[in-house]
């Protein structure tokens, strides 16, 4: 009986001795947190150094818009990294707050003192929490600083854009007498070239010019008249329809723009082709005529499209209300 009692007492002593004390547990956890604090402090310092370098770049006088955009993207990456550093302490702060709540507040004045191990653990947790809060505050300050730099970049980009729009250029050379003299010489040369070619063509290539022009007109007439006969119903707007559907308005606008433009393009292209076929055009006149006819075709197409979309004669057929 006595031996059994002694054995139970021995087992109880061993079990109590095997349990770690709260102070030892807090110390072990605190050592892991110390490494985390050191790592995140180093990370915040590196991010701050990068931010300092980018801030110096903002003061460079030759900074362009692309460079400002690149700096902003780098600052946004740094801000996200700083936020991640602050979030790394969330779990540990929750553990510290929970442990401090378990320990309870220190005894008030006049009450019996608490055990030293509890007071030491509370002090260690409070000190650790203060260190973590200092690192988190550094990350928050860095994020606020980056937000200010991003706003500064937006202001710099706006100023750069306005400076480009309102930049003054020296126009004295463009409006100088020499410029007017050169322009007069160019127009005179163009007039002489066209006049000499036209005189030659009318004297020696009149029949070829007439034949080429008539064939081009015939081709354009076939396209235009044939197109009107084939697509007459969808080519012209019906004034009797008060509320046409959008598809009908779109169809009329499309065909009324396409067919005349194709007919004009066929006429101009065939004119150039037949003029070249009958050797009516010279090299320099051919280049000028090609450019002129291209401008005429584009202007005609834009005019037809504008009239078809706005339809000043029939407001109910407008594509744009």
**pLDDT, one tens digit for every residue, the chain (321 residues):** 443 443 444 434 433 333 434 444 444 445 557 788 888 888 888 999 999 888 888 887 777 888 888 999 999 999 999 888 888 888 888 888 888 787 777 777 777 777 788 778 878 888 888 888 888 888 889 899 999 999 989 888 888 888 877 666 666 666 677 778 888 888 888 888 888 888 888 888 888 888 888 888 888 888 778 777 776 666 677 777 778 888 888 888 888 888 888 888 888 888 888 888 888 877 778 888 888 889 999 999 999 888 888 877 777 877 776
Residues present in the chain in total: 321
Assess contact for 319 and 250: CB atoms under 8 A.
yes
Q: Between the CA of residue 260 and those of 218, 251, 265, 303, 317, what are the distances in Å?
A: 14, 14, 8, 11, 19
In degrees, rounded to 5, the angle at the alpha carbon of residue 297 between the alpha carbons of residues 294 and 302 is 125
Say how many C-beta atoms besides its own lie within 10 A of residue 262's C-beta: 15
**Domain layout of the chain by residue ranges:** 20-165, 190-317
Selection from 251, 248, 260, 186 nearest residue 223 by Cα? 260
CB 317 within 8 A of CB 244: yes
Q: Domain 20-165 class?
A: mainly alpha
Answer for the pair 78, 143: CB distance below 8 angstroms, yes or no.
no
Spatial distance between the Cα atoms of 225 and 159, rounded to a whole number of angstroms: 58
């Amino acid at each position: 009986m006595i031996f059994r009692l002694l054995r139970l007492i021995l087992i109880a002593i061993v079990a109590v001795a095997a349990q770690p004390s709260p102070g030892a547990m807090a110390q072990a956890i605190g050592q892991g947190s110390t490494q985390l604090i050191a790592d995140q402090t180093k990370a915040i310092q590196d991010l701050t150094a990068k931010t300092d370098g980018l801030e110096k770049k903002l003061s460079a006088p030759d900074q362009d818009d692309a460079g400002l955009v690149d700096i902003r993207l780098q600052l946004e990456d740094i801000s996200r990294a700083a936020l991640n550093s602050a979030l790394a302490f969330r779990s540990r702060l929750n553990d510290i707050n929970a442990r401090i709540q378990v320990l309870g507040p220190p005894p008030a004045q006049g009450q019996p003192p608490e055990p030293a191990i509890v007071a030491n653990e509370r002090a260690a947790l409070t000190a650790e929490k203060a260190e973590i809060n200092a690192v988190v505050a550094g990350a928050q300050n860095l994020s606020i600083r980056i937000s200010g730099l991003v706003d500064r970049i937006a202001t710099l980009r706006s100023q750069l854009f306005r400076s480009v729009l309102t930049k003054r250029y020296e126009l004295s050379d463009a409006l100088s007498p020499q410029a007017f003299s050169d322009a007069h010489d160019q127009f005179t040369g163009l007039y002489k070239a066209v006049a000499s070619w036209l005189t030659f063509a009318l004297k020696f290539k009149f029949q070829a010019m007439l034949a080429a022009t008539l064939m081009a007109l015939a081709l354009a007439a076939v396209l235009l008249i044939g197109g009107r006969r084939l697509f007459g119903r969808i080519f012209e707007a019906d004034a009797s329809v008060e509320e046409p559907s959008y598809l009908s308005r779109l169809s009329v606008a499309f065909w009324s723009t396409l067919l005349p433009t194709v007919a004009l393009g066929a006429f101009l292209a065939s004119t150039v082709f037949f003029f070249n076929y009958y050797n009516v055009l010279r090299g320099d006149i051919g280049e000028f005529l090609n450019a002129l006819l291209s401008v005429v075709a584009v202007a005609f197409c834009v005019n037809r499209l504008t009239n078809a979309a706005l339809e000043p004669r029939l407001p109910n057929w407008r594509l744009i209300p």
